[in-house]
Amino acid sequence: MLMVVCAVLFGISNSLVPYLSAVAAPVQMVVFANLFAIVLVLPWARHDLLRPFRKPRTMWTMVVISGLSNVIWFEALATANLSLATALSFAAPLIAMPIAARMLGERISAVRWAAVAFGFAGTLVVLRPWRSGLDAAVWLALAATVMFVGVYLTMRLLAGSESPARVVLMMSVGQVLSGLPFLPSQWRPLDAATMGGILLMALVMQIGRVGMQRAFAMGRASVVMPLDFLRLPAIAAIAWLWFGQTPDLPTFAGAAMIVAASVTLARAGGPRS
């Protein structure tokens, strides 16, 4: 259930990127949203600031991959079709499942394989990506998706050794550091309303990150990650409310497939290994 809430929150934060991109560069959103996020999470992580990392190599790998993937993802969201980019990002659980099984010792049943495939098929029904060409923005979304797999897996590896607040804090630090080199060349003046929108994005994004890290600590990665499919109905609802885009019949049908796949995954997960 926690990962379901996180998927909705990530859907909201992703939808804010194209909305704000008219007045702010994507790299500005990355840097300022994560600076705000650091301030928000610092009170919860302050007790762990000086303690050495228990898995330093895994932590710094997560920091680097998270930083680069976030910069690339924001660029993709700002320039690509939001629904298409979101659909491409749903390939991450499909890539992560066999890796999670090998790295984390998690068994993946045939039912769960079928559920993930069915959920991904649902995204294709909703978005029909074959109608759009693979421009540069789509390739950016694909690159970010591959990197998301590394972020998910390293977060799962850290779940038993680091507090969620500390992992999320380091993730934000990495994303600020990754965006800073590009900030001078893409700088735009930002007014108070734009900064308020970025602050809202940071708040929603950070709550989702902390929740996702707690979800990884509570369940198996190959069960938790595919629940991110529920981000699609959230984005469809936001597009309807904010932009007046009414979902058509294939959208409703595909969303139903995604929800069914997510419920199947949750029920077929079983106990932790």
Spans of the chain below 50 pLDDT? 270-273
The tens digit of pLDDT for each residue in 47-86 reads: 777 788 888 999 999 999 999 998 998 888 887 766 667 7
Nearest Cα to 69, choosing from 97, 113, 34, 107? 34
Give, in order, the Cα–Cα distances in Å from 104 to each of 92, 96, 116: 17, 11, 19
Residue 228 confidence (pLDDT): 63
pTM over 0.75: no
Residue 271 confidence (pLDDT): 43
Contact between residue 71 and residue 179 where contact means Cβ atoms under 8 Å apart = yes
For tokens 């702010």, what's the residue? 24
How far is 32 from 74, CA to CA, in rounded Å? 13
The tens digit of pLDDT for each residue in 211-248 reads: 766 766 666 555 565 566 667 677 777 767 776 666 67
> Which residues does 50 contact at the CB level (< 8 Å), separation at least 6?
none
Residue 16 confidence (pLDDT): 82
Contact between residue 202 and residue 41 where contact means Cβ atoms under 8 Å apart = no
Contact between residue 91 and residue 198 where contact means Cβ atoms under 8 Å apart = no
Amino acid letter, residue 193? A
Residue 69 confidence (pLDDT): 92
Nearest Cα to 69, choosing from 204, 163, 174, 169? 174
